Structures are given as structure tokens and as C-alpha cells.
Structure 1
Amino acid sequence: MKEKAEVVIVGGGIVGCSIAYNLAIRGVDVVLFERSYLASGATGRCGGGIRQQWSTEENIRLAMESVKIFEGLEEELDYHIEYYQGGYLVLAHTEDEVKQFKKNVSLQRKLGLNVRFLEADEINDIVPHLDVEAIGAIGATWCPTDGHANPFKTTIAYARAAEKHGAHIYKFTEVKGIKVEKGEIKEVITDKGKTKTKIVVNAAGAYSREIAKMVGVELPNKPYRHEILATEPLKHVLDPMVISFHDNVYFRQTEHGEVVGGWGDPNEPSSYNIESSFHFIVQMSRLLSRYVPKFRHVNIVRQWAGLYDVTPDARPILGPVEEVEGFIQANGFSGHGFMVAPMVAKLIAELIVEGKTSLPIESLNLKRFREGRVIKEASVVG
């Protein structure tokens, strides 16, 4: 294990590995610690969606810039990540949702996103097999440049490229403590040894709050379980990701034909529980059968659960904290870390190396919760 590094990253998911890569290509001596295997947390348990349709400017910009990176990522990292732009169809079920979605589209288009609002009779032009009447959809938004990628392959691609450029990644190495003296980081203590450093990036997902406690910083993040299933391969009938905030559900077909979909129970309390439930299978089966009748007799082959790292406003926490110099946050993504990781990683690397970022991230720092600068993100499945 390296005894000294310019930067230590805690967390080997998509956020941590992409930050490691972006630092390494800038010549930074970086070490990453992951307590299990890479993408073992939220990244490896997510649906792989990449969506630019958000309600707040920061999330829209992060996602749009990330899509630009995703579009050239396979060539940049020399690795097939199964990236595909099949679009996202976001369904509206109530007049309040229609009003909010039209407001969202106005902001999204102002920022340059190719997106439009669809009336109910236009929805089947995008997804012919969707039972619009049965699900009570009265409108939708459609962005053809949204899409998805393989979370495992994308994370591994970033990790391999980071190591190629000199980063040191230590798997199955758990951070046990962070030594701080006079408000400055001195050392990261793991179960395998110690590494001296002045900068720590907290990219530990749902466990970021526990890492922050090691240096006396309190994060408002809370973990929430979300479950996903995958079916046997079917004839391809679904190109885009279909999502409903009203029913708290999303689903798509992979390039191999499996239907992958997720649902979150809005009444479930915060916990670190990642066990799958029978309740989820019942709910998800009912929803899929109602949304797409062709899915009624398909066999489910597996199910799993993961954790959303949720902040009070469903926007990430990025950048430094006041209490400890060199303690950088890259967490609180509230279920959309995978889709914004490429740009977040670039910004965090810029912040560390240059002291400034190409997109403003001040509104996403931890201080916003103390100062009452909270703008709630409305477009979240949760």
C-alpha cells in the first residue's frame, strides 16, 4: 500500500472511479480505497439510466454535460460500456404533473436540451405497446438523447483507465478513520495500513455520512432502499426508458432483451437494508403488466436491492466543507449518481487541481442546508 498520496478517494463506485481517472490524467498522485469490489454498492445495483430531464438547472447541466462525455466515453476509455441513446419517456398522470413537466421542459429547452412535451395521443408514437388508458397517462415528456449504459462496465472502464495513468486502487480495503490536526487532513487509516494525504474525496455513496463523521462533519444524507428486477430475454418491444414519478416506477429493455425495472416504496423508512422483498415482486409485476400488457406472462429471473444516498433536496453535495480543509464531498446523488458521474468527476478534478470549476457548483455545497438555500429537485423516483 502506498504510504503517501496527493489525494485519497473513499469509494469505488462510478463516482469514485471516474474522479480517480480525471485526477490521474491530470498528473495527480491518487489512491482509491474500496471496502469491497468495484461497483459493489449503489452503482452495481442501479438501473443504468442516463437522464437529462430534471427540474433544477444544476441537475440538468450536470446531466447534459455528462451525456456529452458518455457519447465519446467508449473511445476515450477503450472499453465497451453498452452505451445506448434510446431516450426517456417521462409520464404525467395528473394536471399538477402536466403543469410541472411543461415548466421543466421550458427550463430544459432554455438550457439547450432536445426535449418536448407530448399529449396523451402522441405517447404511443414513442412506445406503441404502452397501455396509455390503463395507466392513466395524460401527457409525457420525451428526450431522444437520454439513454443507458452498463454500470459495472462503465465503472471498470474508468478504473482501468485510472490505473493506466498511475492511480492506485485498493479493493477490499476499508477506511477505518481519518486523522485531522488543526482542521487539516493528515492521514487515512485503513484495515490494511495508513496513507498520508492532505485531500480526501468522500465518494462513499450511502456510507458517505459515516465517512464524514470520522472528521467531525455531519451530512444530512440518508439511505433509502430501492429494488430492481430483471426478466428473461424477450423480443424487443421497448426502446426508451419509461418512467413514472406518480407510480414511482421505471423500466426499459436491455440490448439483450431483458426487461429491467425498479420501484421504490415511498412509505419505507430510511435504513441500510438491501434485502430483496416479495412485496416488491408483487408491486412491480402488477405495474409492468398494467403498463405493457405484453409483459404479463414473462418470467422474472432475478431481483436485487440497493441504496439511494438521499439529501433533503434530492441534489448532490459537491465540493469542500468549512470544518475541515481538504475534505471534498461527492455524494448525496439521491439515485442519479451514475448518470451525472462523468461531469461531476471532471468538476471535482478541476476543483482540486485548478481551484475552480468549468461549471459553477457553489449552490451544491454543504452550506446550502445551513443557510436555507435549498431548491428541491422534483423529478425523482423515490
Structure 2
Amino acid sequence: MSNIINVNSNSNQYNVCIIGGGITGTALAYFLCKLGERSVAVFEKSYLSSGSTGRCAGGIRQQWSTRSNVRLAMRSVKLFERFKEDVGMDIEYFQGGYLVLSYDEEEAAQFEKNVQMQKEEGLNVEILSPRQVKEKYPYINTDGLLMATFCQTDGHANPHKAVIGYAQAIRRMGGHIYTHTEVKGIDVQAGKVIGVDTSNGYFKCNVVVNAAGPWSRETSEMVGVDLPTESYRHQIIVTEALENFFPMMAISFSGNFYMRQTQHGQFVLGQGDKDEKPGINYNVTFRFEEELISKMVRTFPFLKNVRMMRHWSGMYNMSPDAQPIIGQSDKVKGYYYAVGYSGHGFMVAPAVGEALAELILFGKSLHTDISYLDVKRFENMTIEKEKNVV
């Protein structure tokens, strides 16, 4: 199979070269093409969605602790709702809601403030008491639960299909995708990007976008720009399939877990690990299985006799405030970045791709403000940390 999708093998020049074939890189390329910029190439060193995107749980959430993130996520949901019609792919998108469970008094108080802010932004979200949770979801053990929040328009989708959908649309519109093509260097002359050196040859370009996920910092070092990101392993377990009865994504930041049921019946569940060290690590551990399974069986007793079928790991590319780093360099002309999603890249990628495409082509974002996500915010010591992270 060719490493090049819909591209003339003699072509070695593009206006925009994007590093990374995950949801961010393909969403950006899609919106560039949609806005009329067809001289676009995506470079992926492995196969499409082989990095963080293809290893995530597929959740799509609008319940955030910062107002700006709520706006970004709400725009992304609007684009996900139109994905099948606009992009042409059924990505198993289902708005079954997000049930956010709190077991901590300080967190519960923060949730009440969050919900007030979210409602001010136009999000249809509600607070549920433990009794209401039990009445609505009798298969959940509510022991120790203080409260929950729920938003029906939150949901989940298949990350692989989303990337493939964007890739097919890019191909139809004339954009180019190179798989199994590693970017080994970014050519900068007189403070301006002029090309990329890859395992498949040299390509001239005017713009380079770093959408390299776990390798974002190393990629940025190619142009001498420091992006304060670090990658941490996160693990996921997948069960055998059951009859569908669990429509929502259940998540708890204080309980440190998340879980959803796929369209095909499997449960996808995971947690964070406070002891995880930074670095690329795709190994899996028995400790993770023991800790997560014992906790999840207590909260979701129906899992007790369900068999575990798969276990994998992926990377959270973390930023200091658990918010993505998106913008353009003021040191190297033509260098842009969309990295550091801190585990939430899939759910906001449509809005980010749209906004960054507008920034590249028009000099400003037209639909969603992403200026607050530029790396320059870390020069200000009063940055607001996103609290709703597992």
C-alpha cells in the first residue's frame, strides 16, 4: 500500500505542512481545504490515528471549569453534530450525556459554581442529588456520592472513524496525506519556515503546524521554540460486549475514573496515575488492572462478572495548566502549534481545527476565540488551571 494518499509523487511543495495524523492534524487539514486552501499536506510517521487519538476513550464533554473551555467545547459539539452531514462519515456519535460524579466536598462546591457558569454560557446542564442518580441509574452504587452533574448534549464517538472521515474528505478536496513518513527536521531560514525534511524527502512550505501529540516538545525543538509539554502514560481496559444499557459517559475527577459503553456493547474504562513519570511508555501493568477493576466493581456492581478483553496504553500530552497550547510563534514566522491537550484533544479538535485554520488563513479566528491558549500565557503567573481532568 502506498504511503501517499491522493498525491502526485513529484509534488514537493505545499503552502501548509502539518506534522501529525491524529484528530488535530486531520481536522485542521479538513478545515483548511474547506476554506479553499488545498495546498495542504499531513505527515504521519505511522498510520493515521496511531498516536493519542486512536488510544483514547472517545468522550466528548462540555462540562469544564473554565468559561473559555466551555465555549470551545460547545463549538466542537456543534461541529460533531454535523459531522456525518458535513464530512460524510458515520463516526458512531451518540449524545448520551456525561454523568460527572463527585465524592469530595470541596469539589462538589466547585461543581455548583461550574454549573452556574456553564448555564450562563448556554449549556443545558443540571445538578443531581445522590438520590436522583440512584433513581435514574439504579445500577450505580451511590455510596459516598455527594452530588453529580449531567449534560445531555455531551457524548462520545469513535476516534478512528473521525480521523478516517476527515482524511477521506481531505482527499476528496485535493489535500494530501503522507503516512509512514517521519518529519526529521524543520527548515528555518532568516527566522522563517521554508520546508520540512522527511523520511520521504524534502518538502518546501510556507507554514508548518506542530500537531505531533506526544512528541510535541521534541518537534518544537526542531525550530528552537520551547513548548512546556510533557507526555504521560494513561491506560485503558476494554471489556466483553454486553447488551447496550449504559448511554452516558460516567466520570469522576475526585474518584479518578471514567467509563462508557460503545455502540457495540464493550465498556471502555480508565483512570489516571499520580505516580506516573513523564516519557513515552506503551507498556501496561497488572497494578493498573487491580486498582481500576476493584474500584469500578464497587461503583458499578454489574461489572463484577464481566470479562476483560483488552488493555492498552496511550499518552496524555500535558501542559502546565491542563489546557491545550494553540497558536503561532512570534519567534519563527510560519510556525504554528496545537498541542498539550492534556487528554482532551479528541473532544475539542473540530473547534480547534476550524479556529486554527482561520488563524492561518485570515490572521484571526472567526468562530471561536483561541487566543487565550497561546503559549505566551505562561509568562503570566496568574494562569487559570483546568480542574476537570482525570
Q: TM range, normalised to the smaller chain?
A: over 0.9
Q: Hey, what's the Cα distance between the residues in 1 that align with 2:128 and 2:317?
A: 32
Task: Give the secondary structure class of the aligned counterpart of 1:6.
Answer: strand
> Are the aligned partners of 1:129 and 1:237 in contact in 2 as well (CA < 8 Å)?
no
1:171 to 173, 179, 183: 179
Which residue identity lines up with residue 74 of structure 2 in the other structure? M
Q: TM-score, normalised by structure 2?
A: 0.96
Offset at 1:34?
Answer: 0.1
Q: 2:148 aligns with which of 116, 135, 140?
A: 140
1:376 aligns with 2:385: yes
User: Residue 13 of structure 2 aligns to a residue in which SS?
Assistant: coil
> Equivalent of 1:30, from 25, 40, 44?
40
Is residue 95 from structure 1 mapped to residue 113 from structure 2 by the alignment? Answer: no
Could you tell me which residue of structure 1 aligns to residue 3 of structure 2? none
Q: Does 1:334 align with 2:342?
A: yes
Percent identity over paired residues: 48
Distance across 1 between alignment mates of 2:389 and 2:383: 16
Q: Which runs of 4+ in 1 moved over 4 A?
A: none
Q: How far did 1:75 drift?
A: 1.4
> Higher mean Cα deviation, 235-244 or 140-149?
235-244
Residue in 2 aligned with 1:209?
217
Contact in 1 for aligned 2:102/2:255 (Cα 8 Å)? no
Once structures 1 and 2 are overlaid, which stretch shifts more, 206-215 or 70-79? 70-79
How far apart are the structure 2 equivalents of 1:237 and 1:149?
16
Give the corresponding residue for 2:271: 263
Match of 2:325 in 1: 317
Identify the match of residue 120 of structure 2 among 79, 90, 110: 110
Contact kept, 8 Å, 2:87 with 2:165, in 1: the verdict is yes
Measured on the aligned residues, the alpha-carbon RMSD in Å equals: 1.0
Counterpart amino acid of residue 120 in structure 2 = K
Q: Can you give the 5+ residue segments of structure 1 that lack an aligned partner in the other structure?
A: none
1:73 corresponding residue in structure 2 = 83
TM-score w.r.t. length of structure 1: 0.97
Partner of 1:3: 12
> Which amino acid is the alignment partner of residue 47 of structure 1?
A
Distance 1:255 1:371 in 2: 44
Q: Distance in 2 between matches of 1:375 and 1:248?
A: 21
Choose 260-269 or 164-173, whichever is displaced more.
260-269
Given that 2:316 and 2:343 are in contact with CA atoms closer than 8 Å, whether structure 1 keeps it comes out as yes
Give, in angstroms, the shift of residue 137 of structure 1: 0.9
Find the counterpart in structure 2 of residue 82 from structure 1. 92
Greater CA drift, 10-19 or 277-286: 277-286
1:365 partner amino acid = D
State the AA in 2 paired with 1:76.
D
The 5-angstrom pairing of residues 176-215 of structure 1 reads: 176-215=184-223
SS of match in other structure, 2:384:
coil
- In structure 2, list runs of 5 or more residues that go unmatched: 1-8
Paired residues for 1:228-307 under 5 Å: 228-307=236-315
Aligned partner of 1:361 in structure 2 is: 370
> In structure 2, how many angstroms separate the alpha carbons of the residues matched to 1:290 and 1:352?
49
- The question of whether the paired residues in 2 share the 8 Å contact of 1:62 and 1:343 is answered with yes
Q: SS state of the match for residue 197, structure 1? A: strand
Q: Conserved in 2, the CA contact under 8 Å of 1:127 and 1:239?
A: no
Kindly provide the amino acid, as one letter, of the partner of residue 128 in structure 1.
P
CA 1:125–1:74 in structure 2 vs 1: closer, same or farther (change >3 Å)? farther
Q: How far apart are the structure 1 equivalents of 2:373 and 2:351? A: 14
1:53 matched to 2:63? The reply is yes
What secondary structure sits across from 2:227 in the alignment?
coil
Q: Please identify, of 171-180 and 239-248, the stretch whose mean Cα deviation from structure 2 is larger.
A: 239-248
TM-superposed CA distance for 1:373, in Å, is 4.6
Q: Give the Cα separation in 1 of the matches to 2:311 and 2:86.
A: 33
Q: Is the 8 A contact 1:225 1:305 kept in 2?
A: yes
Separation (CA, whole Å) in 2 of partners of 1:150 and 1:356? 30
